[in-house]
Structure 1
């Protein structure tokens, strides 16, 4: 049977597809523009999006397992609920959903609250699902590497509580492992939630220190200016999204993104290797420059 991957052309979606192909899965990718697909040989492409009911019905035909990823959008919850209802209509019972860590804690942050609502719907609708809850993506920092290297500062207001940052490649591989596990299981597997975290809990000063060591020169952490963060984001994203990101960063400062006991050990066992560290990530960026 076929595994359908939504969000297929994004940072995580591409990693999921690559890992599924490596494992010999029958993969179908849902994309808005097939010209941008550029996937490995053997990956089927279904054109459509999560608000196009007709295209989704076609994409779900013959699908047994769904990887559901919704990008941050003003109608993210609507997209997810349409996908879940059409999946159930098509007889899809097995789902891996990409949520976010502390979705039940960051209750005032729109995209966190939306993902928690989707988690509840998955549970109430009776899907056999794995809910993946990733912490902050290290790969988000690709967008600010020029600020780090050019201006000598790490500008993300992540505070001092600590974020257990994870590499998107690890997210993609864990998602693929869970998709295959559910796809190949004869009996339905019970609902499960997995926190996706990196090996280290990092404050802003810690990340600046890593960049200092990797670059061989001082990199400063200027502090926790969430208002300035929002203002900068408004230059290249809608105001509602920039405000959403500000609210998230404010929860970084008050709550952090803290793993539960056993999270790192569970992920290490699942992968059969160590999780990638932020130092690994930063070193790769510097080496490729």
Structure 2
């Protein structure tokens, strides 16, 4: 059994690779430059690009399962459809796709709508597939830790509905478990969706309160100004992406990212341990600062 992991050098993909290796799987990682790849022993780096069908054909040769992760880029949807078509032609029978929670609800947010389109294609394929739908990554907040630590403000406009934030390490482990479960399962092909959530559904005020407790000093919530959020993001990312993130944050305010009944219990049972909490995440950040 060989599993191809795309996005293998990123926040989640690297966790998937490491968890698969721990479980004895044969892992092939798709990378643009194998010379720069730094993976655990035994992982094969396959040179390729999601917009290059020939390189995908080579990377998918002899592969039984695919972990498909697409970065938020302008051609994300095209990349995913090419990868799935080539995987189908190569006879890959098991797929785990990293989508996003409420992809069918946040219909005006470009990268959510694109992921939902990919989900629809997977439903039309004759494969055994798990669609993982993670909520907001706690790890996103690494990018604003200096604002929290130095200025005493939690600046993400996540609103008052609540987000069931999840740690990327938990996402990676659950993805590895699903890849191996899919490969070992027998019976008719089917598609299953799993919400990936953390143990707590937190508002902006909740997150600020956690930081206040961990740091033992007041941390304020920055509020709901999505326009200012977009303008700040323009300093570190292209305008189209900053606008995409603004649209997402507006849906945070209107809809939140709330788990369905039983989501937390299901994930806890799959992992065999509690999900990592935001408080644990914040404590680790402070300890390493």
* CA gap 1:33/1:111 in 2 versus in 1, 3 angstroms: same
- Name 1:231's counterpart in structure 2: 231
Give the deviation of 1:126 after TM superposition.
2.4
CA contact (8 A) 1:162 1:258 kept: yes
- Name 1:91's counterpart in structure 2: 91
Counting only pairs closer than 5 Å after superposition, residues 269-280 of structure 1 correspond to structure 2 as: 269-280=269-280
- Name 1:56's counterpart in structure 2: 56
Helix, strand or coil at the partner of 1:243: helix
Give the deviation of 1:35 after TM superposition.
3.0
CA contact (8 A) 2:127 2:189 kept: no
- Name 2:137's counterpart in structure 1: 137
Q: 1:9 and 1:269 mapped to 2: Cα distance?
A: 28
CA contact (8 A) 1:122 1:129 kept: yes
- Runs of 4+ off more than 3 Å: 186-189
Give the deviation of 1:186 after TM superposition.
3.7
- Name 1:213's counterpart in structure 2: 213
May I ask how many residue pairs the two structures share in their alignment? 289
**CA root-mean-square deviation:** 0.8
Give the deviation of 1:183 after TM superposition.
1.4
Helix, strand or coil at the partner of 2:218: coil
CA contact (8 A) 1:9 1:36 kept: no
Q: 2:188 and 2:280 mapped to 1: Cα distance?
A: 37
- Name 2:154's counterpart in structure 1: 154
| Greater Cα shift, 182-191 or 138-147 | 182-191
Q: 1:236 and 1:111 mapped to 2: Cα distance?
A: 18
Q: Deviations over 1:235-289 (max 9, x none)?
A: 1111101100000000000000000000000000000000000000000011111
- Name 1:248's counterpart in structure 2: 248
Unaligned runs of 5+ in 1: none
Give the deviation of 1:189 after TM superposition.
4.7
Counting only pairs closer than 5 Å after superposition, residues 42-121 of structure 1 correspond to structure 2 as: 42-121=42-121
Q: Deviations over 1:189-231 (max 9, x none)?
A: 5211000000001000000000000001000002011001100
- Name 2:11's counterpart in structure 1: 11
Unaligned runs of 5+ in 2: none
Q: 1:127 and 1:242 mapped to 2: Cα distance?
A: 35
CA contact (8 A) 1:67 1:96 kept: yes
| Greater Cα shift, 188-197 or 35-44 | 188-197
Q: 1:57 and 1:188 mapped to 2: Cα distance?
A: 26
Q: 1:48 and 1:229 mapped to 2: Cα distance?
A: 35
Give the deviation of 1:188 after TM superposition.
4.5
Q: 1:12 and 1:133 mapped to 2: Cα distance?
A: 13
